[in-house]
Every structure is written in C-alpha cells, then in structure tokens.
C-alpha cells in the first residue's frame, strides 16, 4: 500500500491538476472574451474604414462638382474686372470738364444764333412779302391758263 507521503503527494498532484484545470478554464473564458473584443474591434475598424472611404468619396465628388463652377465664376469675375479697368481708363482719358465746357459754348452759340434768326424774322416786312406773293400770283396765273389751254 501506499504510504502517507505518497498519498499526500498524490493529493497534492490531484489538487495541482485541479488548479491547472481551473486555471485553464479561466484562461479559456478570458480567451473567449478577448476574442470577442478583438472581433468587435475588427468590425469597428472595418466600419471606420468604410465610413472614411465614403466621406472621402463624397468630398471628391463635391470638389469635382464645385471646382468647375468656381473656375467659371472666377473667369467671369476676371472678365468683369478687365472690362471695369478698361472703362475706368477710358473715363480717365475722357476730358469730361472739356466736354461740358464745349457743350456750354455750343449752347451759348446756338442761343445767339437763334436770337439773330429771330431778329431777322422780326425785321421782315410781312405786308410787303404778302403783296409780292399776290403780285407773283397775278403774274403767273394768266401764264398757267395759257399753258393749260395749249395742251
């Protein structure tokens, strides 16, 4: 039979095996838990990558849509600015003060010419003019009748 020491050693080994098995079960549970969290982390990483890709795609599409419009607006703005610069240069070259002075001078001259014309019209003797027209009419009327009868 076995001695007490052997029994005690056998009990210690059995206890050791039990402790090892218990430790192995705990490690298996811990491993399962860690595996579960690793899978969850992997899924979250994949979702993060997918969402980042979608956002990048949206940004690229927006840039592709907005940049040509901004270029068109920029080109139109530059054309308008060039036209404005040309107009400003032409206005600077135009002698507006001289033009206004010329208009004033022409207005004064036209007013003077109108005054002279009115004076001349007033100086015409309308009675003599009417009398001359009547004399001309009385002279031409017999000639008109003569030529009308010849036809």
pLDDT tens profile 24-65 = 999 999 999 999 999 999 999 999 999 999 999 999 999 999
Banded pLDDT at 2 (limits 50, 70, 90): low
Q: What is the pLDDT of residue 1?
A: 52
The answer to whether the pTM exceeds 0.85 is: no
Task: Write the pLDDT tens digit of every residue in 9-22.
Answer: 888 888 999 999 99
Is the confidence at residue 100, as pLDDT, over 70?
A: yes
Instruction: Give the Cα separation of 85 and 90 in Å (integer).
Output: 9
């Amino acid at each position: 039979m076995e001695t007490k020491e052997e029994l005690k050693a056998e009990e210690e080994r059995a206890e050791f095996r039990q402790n090892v098995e218990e430790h192995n079960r705990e490690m298996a549970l811990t491993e399962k838990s860690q595996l579960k969290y690793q899978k969850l982390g992997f899924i979250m990483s994949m979702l993060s990558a997918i969402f980042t890709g979608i956002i990048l795609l949206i940004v690229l599409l927006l840039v592709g849509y907005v940049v040509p419009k901004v270029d068109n607006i920029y080109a139109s703005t530059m054309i308008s600015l060039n036209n404005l610069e040309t107009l400003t240069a032409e206005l600077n070259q135009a002698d507006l003060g001289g033009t206004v002075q010329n208009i004033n001078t022409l207005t004064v001259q036209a007013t003077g010419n109108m005054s002279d014309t009115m004076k001349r019209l007033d100086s015409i003797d309308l009675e003599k003019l009417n009398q001359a027209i009547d004399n001309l009419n009385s002279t031409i009327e017999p000639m008109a009748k003569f030529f009308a009868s010849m036809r």
